[in-house]
Amino acid sequence: MTTTTRKTSHFFNLQDTLFKYFLIACSVLVVALLIAIFYFLYQDALPAISYNGWNILTGMTWNTNLGVFGALPVILGTLATGGIATLIAIPLSLAIAIFYTEYTPHRFRLPLRVFIDLLAAVPSIVYGFWALQVLLPIAKINVMLPLVTYLGFIPIFSGPAEGASIFLAIIILTIMVIPIITAISIEILAKTPIALKEGMTSLGATKWETVRHVGLPFARLGIFAGVILGLGRALGETMAVTLIIGNTFNWPFHSVSLFSTGDTVTSWITNEFPEAVGLDAASLFELALILLIITLAVNLIARTIINRVSKGRFS
């Protein structure tokens, strides 16, 4: 080995080592950032944790003057709006992704993909104002009032139709989640091996049968990951929900109707924090800590499911 060859080899080894440690540093930074956020919330919430105990998870009243901080209504509001919105978004997102990958002519794919990406990038405050000014009157007149009139005997559709409501929050969250799940589903479905698709086609399968028996099974892990990302967006959304949910601390204990006003963890914190002091502020930090734990738990469960599916433990 010549001197030049040794120097070149040493140079590339050094590059490889530096790049390795750079990647390690980036990974450590992510973990450290999460720990720092958790620690910050825990420290500020510690007085409330000692004072409230489990009441913040089970209590149904938040009264600063009485020193009562029960957040069960907003926790349930968060889980209901985020969960229902994601469930509605899943079939719609998959339909769009399948249409894009299997049926859309190539000359229309770029405009459609740009449109999907733009929807994902729209700021939440814009969604909120649009929902407040445009979607609310349309939904109230054409959806909420007819459902109250004809299906009001069903508790979740009972009146009055107030406009700003849990229902409207679910609609806008669905619209916000769809482009996230759709974009990821498109990327995964587009990577379905051509040989498998052509094999199904040669056996006489239709496009839908090919997608159902080849594309969706191949892409299920990626689609599931996209669903979890969408759910995380829905659970953590703030401004759009704050503008259209009605911001009342009563659902679902005052009424289980989806047309009733309600609140979520994020919207409650947004409205209460500017004037919060002392124990009230600490309780809001505790509420934020609870939301962080819920989000981490959802992602941990999702990761466990993905790992088991990928190992073939269940289908």
CATH fourth-level superfamily of 53-310: MetI-like (1.10.3720.10)
Summarize pLDDT for 229-277 with one digit per residue, the tens. 899 889 988 889 999 998 888 888 888 899 999 999 999 999 998 888 8
Quick one: tokens of 14? 């050094």
pLDDT category at 312 given cuts 50, 70, 90 is low
Using a 10 angstrom Cβ sphere, with 0-12 exposed, 13-18 middle and 19 or more buried, the burial of residue 53 is exposed
Summarize pLDDT for 101-131 with one digit per residue, the tens. 888 888 888 888 889 988 888 889 999 999 9
Quick one: tokens of 60? 């149904």
Q: How many CB atoms are located within 10 Å of the residue 124 CB?
A: 19
Angle at 38 between CA 85 and CA 87, to 5 degrees: 10
Query: What is the percent of the chain with per-residue pLDDT over 90, rounded to a whole number?
Result: 42
